[in-house]
Amino acid sequence: MISFTTKSNFAKKSIPYFLIAIAFFMPVYLKLSIIGLFVLTFAWLLSGNWLNLKEYNKNSMLLWLLAFFWLLHAVSLVYSTNLYRGLNDIQQKLSFIIFPLIFYTSIRDVKSNYNKILIAFVSGLILSGLICLINATYQSLSFANSQFVFNPIPIDYYWENYFSYSRLSFPRHPTYFAMFYCLGIAILFYFAKFKKERSWTYVAIAIVICFFVLMVFLLSSRAGILVTIVVFIGGMLWLFLKRMGWVLNIVGVAVILLFLATFAKNNERFSILLNNLGLKHSVENRTYSPDEKSEIVNGDNIRTEIWLSIPEIVGPNWIFGFGIGDSKQELLQGYKNKGLINALDNEYNAHNQYLETFAGLGILGFLLLLSILIFPLYNSFRKRKILLIMFITIIALNFIFESVLERIGGVIFLGFFYCLFILMSANIEET
């Protein structure tokens, strides 16, 4: 019979493999990452690593900000009437407690497998992108008159394309998928900066970066394209600033920015965003159904109206918010009172994580959310942890355009990589 000590040792050794698996399956098939999280938690409990919690380290405080954020959600249940929705929300965000516990008490395993975890995530992105492209190609092919016909335009939806937006990212939301690719690009810049390999390795990294940029373009996420431009320019400066000097870097960045801007402007959904911002780039000649065109063109205006209305909707509840159980219903009622019929009919959330948190948790939750971003960003600038800076930038910018933490994919993505990068940048001794 296997002893408890043997089981404990086996569980302890399995923890890094589960972390690698979660990172790999996150972009490929999120449900497997969720299952992996449950199995990881069980292995962690069995391993006895939780005993390391007694070893307090002041440098680990940033690691626990997510846990405090979850606790504030739990406390808001006290003044929420819709407990069912509130309980679902705190259950969805459980990883904000699980990941800090596991990462903090498994420091040695995390640090020794850091690069493997990053490689696993990048590999998952490559596989997921290839699957999406293969599926789009398969959907575009038909057999007629004894020959294959390639047509990426769906018959009944002539304004869509199998190689674009949700048709391409069929298993997941395009904005979240693009956010994953932005981090993948940042990770590849990290390997190009610090991995001293042969020249063919740098060629491979450059090819994969181009592939990731192409995927973001095809996914047609406006937020994704904007963040990719920021990450790409930041990565290039990170790589070549000391080697080439300021003048050449400014010229290089200008050329890259011009290329990426032209690249983005030729994306249909991004061109509509430019049009709505008042830039001269007409969408009248583009092919959309009347309903689709109206929805896309007016979408940014509706989103802006939602953003401007939320402070007034929250009103006297600005300190504690409505509570996570009631925030969605209160927002819908606010849309109704403000005459935002489209937002009401589609039951839109805030499409902005900062405002979403403000509505649910008030100014206290809003400030804690800012702390989750600002304190690590300050420390990473001070310690020159560029990968952490890029990650926080990716999250902070996506928070502006989407309520990222309303989906399990956004929760796990933030919880996992936030704890990973914080742990690697903090001076926390192995226990």
pLDDT for res 277: 42
27 contact partners, CB below 8 Å, separation of at least 6:
121, 124, 125, 128, 172, 177, 180
Angle between helices 174-194 and 114-140 (to 10 degrees): 130
**Residue 373 contacts residue 396 (beta carbons within 8 Å):** yes
d(CA 144, CA 336): 51
Question: Three-state DSSP class for 225?
Answer: helix
Question: Three-state DSSP class for 13?
Answer: helix
Closest CA to 11 of 118, 141, 102, 136: 102
**Residue 419 contacts residue 63 (beta carbons within 8 Å):** yes
pLDDT for res 50: 84
End-to-end distance of the chain based on CA atoms, in angstroms?
30
Percent of the chain at pLDDT above 70? 81
**Residue 178 contacts residue 212 (beta carbons within 8 Å):** no
**Residue 409 contacts residue 30 (beta carbons within 8 Å):** yes
Q: Which tens digits make up the pLDDT trace of 105-143? A: 988 889 999 999 999 999 999 999 999 999 999 998 887
**Residue 152 contacts residue 162 (beta carbons within 8 Å):** yes
Q: Give phi and psi for 144, each to the nearest 5.
A: -145, 140
d(CA 4, CA 300): 58
d(CA 221, CA 236): 22
Q: Which tens digits make up the pLDDT trace of 266-298? A: 555 555 545 544 444 433 444 445 554 455 445
CA dist 374 → 94, 290, 403 (Å): 22, 43, 18
pTM, two decimals, is: 0.87
Give me the chain's average pLDDT, please: 84
Q: Which tens digits make up the pLDDT trace of 311-370? A: 899 989 999 999 999 999 999 999 888 888 888 888 888 899 999 999 999 999 999 999
Between 147 and 120, name the one with better pLDDT: 120
Question: Is pLDDT of 149 > 90?
Answer: no
Task: Return the HEC string of 137-155.
Answer: HHHHEEEECCEEEECCCCC
